[in-house]
């Protein structure tokens, strides 16, 4: 069974809050972004945009192959 290597890259204050970047997780079958965040212990409340390679996706997106996931923090005004 081919193992999917998921690399999570954190941007902005997420790097500071979660104290690591990137992190790597391995999966043997398709998995949602939501599940990946849960396992990486990253709160959805902190995430505004999610990119899988060059595409913007939502948390219900199924990851089916090794890839890089970029997480961008919530954005306020200023």
Partner 1 sequence: MSYGYTGSILHLDLSSKKYWIEHPPETFYRTYWGGRALGLYYMLKEMKPKTDPLSPDNLLIFAPSVLTGTPAPAMPRYTVCAKSSLTGAEGEAEAGGWWGPELKKAGLDAIITKGASTTPVYLWINDGKVEIKAATHLWGKDTGTTQKIIKEELADDKVRIAQIGPAGENLVRFANIVNELKHFNGRNGLGAVMGSKKLKAIAVRGTKPIELYNKERVSQVTKEITKRVMENPLSRDLRELGTLAVVRPFYEAGCLPSYNWTTGYFKEGENLTAETYNKTILKKTIGCYACPIRCKRVVEINESDLQVDPSYGGPEYETITSLGSSCGISDLKYIAKANELCNKYTMDTISTGMAIAFAMQCFQEGLLTKEDTGGIELTFSNKEAMLKMVEKIAHRDGLGDLLAEGSYLAAQKIGKGSEKFIHQVKKQEIPMHDPRLKIGVGLQYALADYGADHMKAAHDTYFKDKDSYGIKEMKGLGILEPVSPTDIGQNKVTLFKILDTYWSLLDTLGVCDFGYVPRSVGTMEELLEIICSTTGWKTTWFEFMKVGERSINMARVFNCREGFTTKDDTLPEVFYQNFKGGPLEGKFAINKEDFEKALKLRYELMGWNPDSGIPTSAKLIELGLDWLIEEIG
Footprint of partner 1 on this chain (CB under 8 A)?
A: 11-14, 16-17, 43-45, 48-49, 51, 54-56, 70, 72-78
Question: Which residue, 1 or 77, is less far from partner 1 as judged by CB?
Answer: 77
Question: Which residue, 30 or 56, is less far from partner 1 as judged by CB?
Answer: 56
To partner 1, the closest distance from the beta carbon of 32 in angstroms equals 16
Residues 6+ apart with CB under 8 A from 77: none
The residue written with tokens 């990486």 in the block is: 40
To partner 1, the closest distance from the beta carbon of 22 in angstroms equals 15
Cβ pair 58, 71 in contact under 8 A: no
Kindly list the distances between the CA atom of residue 74 and the CA atoms of 1, 13, 77, in Å, as whole numbers in the listed order. 37, 9, 10
């Amino acid at each position: 069974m081919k193992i999917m290597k998921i690399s999570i890259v954190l941007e902005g204050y997420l790097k500071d809050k979660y104290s690591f970047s990137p992190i790597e997780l391995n999966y043997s079958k398709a998995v949602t972004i939501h599940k990946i965040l849960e396992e990486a212990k990253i709160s959805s409340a902190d995430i505004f945009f999610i990119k899988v390679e060059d595409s913007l996706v939502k948390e219900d997106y199924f990851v089916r192959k090794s890839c890089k996931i970029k997480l961008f923090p919530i954005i306020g005004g200023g």
